[in-house]
Amino acid sequence: MSHPSLPVRGPFPSTRMRRTRRHEWVRNLVRENTLSAEHLIWPLFVCEGEGVREAVPSMPGVNRYSIDLCLEQVARAIEYGIPAIALFPKTPTSKKTAQAEEATNPNNLMCSALRAIRDRFGDQIGLVADVALDPYTSHGHDGLVVNDYVVNDQTIDILCRQAVVQAEAGASVIAPSDMMDGRIGSIRNALDDSGHHEVLLMSYAAKYASAFYGPFRDAVGSAGSLGKATKKTYQMDPAASDEALHEVALDLQEGADIVMVKPGMPYLDIVRRIRDTFAVPVAIYQVSGEYAMLTAAAQNGWLDRRSVVLESLLSMRRAGANMILTYFALEVAHYLKGEEYVAG
Ligand code: PBG
């Protein structure tokens, strides 16, 4: 018996696949996947001070902004139809400690930024707040370290408090990126117990121990703190695939609203498997190293920036991602309107 989805007509010459590729109008009609600004979340790096705009050397075109300048960037994101931004703070080294006390300070940089953006823009844009301790620890790990090991349960207590101060400050989405076991359920309870049942949870569910995070660690200043240490005892092994489904299943049971795969382009198979297994919103993170690679090749004139950026993001949509975190978000929103982009 033939497969019901096989075409009824015979092969060449009655079937000519090129017919539906002949003109722009027909390509538009048969296309199954699309990319628009509505699918994008824009990560922004925040730093202390006023009027500060610092370039991130390993991510040309990406800056850290003090809160006042960050507001200008958020205004641009809203103007270009980007539904949400994701904030990452660069904590001054003087405020980093082994116990990450600064993470739960309701007046830390992250919370101040959330409050300022929420005050200015209300609910016009979603605010995704990263929950993990690495921007605040002197050792650069996402959790507390006891006897050279990142400990799970004690870390979760701090993550819960961190999530609550961020929710109080105006976060609409709490995004735990730490990969501790059981943190989604605990954070959900902590949010509900403090009256934040409307705050969403976007879990970095399948987050791999990837070398593609290098430039991000420069941007938030955790690279130096981490030194030669790795995150392999809590982030996933790049060789694992089934485990991603297990992680996602657990996070969904614990109350995640959206599950994320990270990094992006090297892990599209994982997005597809999750998509085919669970009927839930899936996010993918095109990480700093991916941004750096595409940017470097384009700067050398080896690749066409606009085309490869659009193609890379479309590949993530095709793999099944509902939404994409990407440093190219505002740039792409310009391209999709037929406009040129100049970084602010
Ligand atoms: C830290 C965190 C990382 C990223 C997002 N949150 C880095 C890491 O796990 O070391 C990476 C983002 C990127 O590379 O763009 N919890």
User: Ligand 1: which residue has its CA nearest to atom 5?
Assistant: 177
- Compute the distance between CA of residue 220 and CA of residue 204 in angstroms, rounded to an integer: 18
Instruction: Walk along the chain (344 residues) and give the pLDDT tens digit of each residue.
Output: 456 677 677 889 999 999 999 999 999 999 999 999 999 999 999 999 999 999 999 999 999 999 999 999 999 999 999 999 999 999 999 999 999 999 999 999 999 999 999 999 999 999 999 999 999 999 999 999 999 999 999 999 999 999 999 999 999 999 999 999 999 999 999 999 999 999 999 999 999 999 999 999 888 888 888 888 999 999 999 999 999 999 999 999 999 999 999 999 999 999 999 999 999 999 999 999 999 999 999 999 999 999 999 999 999 999 999 999 999 999 999 999 999 998 88
Catalytic residue among 90, 96, 207, 231: 207
Nearest to 265 by CA among 193, 321, 220, 227: 321
- Compute the distance between CA of residue 304 and CA of residue 14 in angstroms, rounded to an integer: 37
Measured in Å, residue 256 CA sits from the centre of ligand 1 at 19
Ligand 1 surroundings by CB, under 6 angstroms: 130, 132, 134, 142, 177-178, 213, 216-217, 231, 287-288
Extents of the domains making up the chain: 34-336
Q: What architecture is the 34-336 domain classified under in CATH?
A: Alpha-Beta Barrel (3.20)
Q: Any catalytic annotation for residue 207?
A: yes
Q: How many CB atoms lie within 10 A of CB 70?
A: 23
User: Ligand 1: which residue has its CA nearest to atom 8?
Assistant: 213
Listing DSSP states for 268-318 in one string gives HHHHHHHHHH--S-EEEEE-HHHHHHHHHHHHTTSS-HHHHHHHHHHHHHH
Q: Any catalytic annotation for residue 90?
A: no
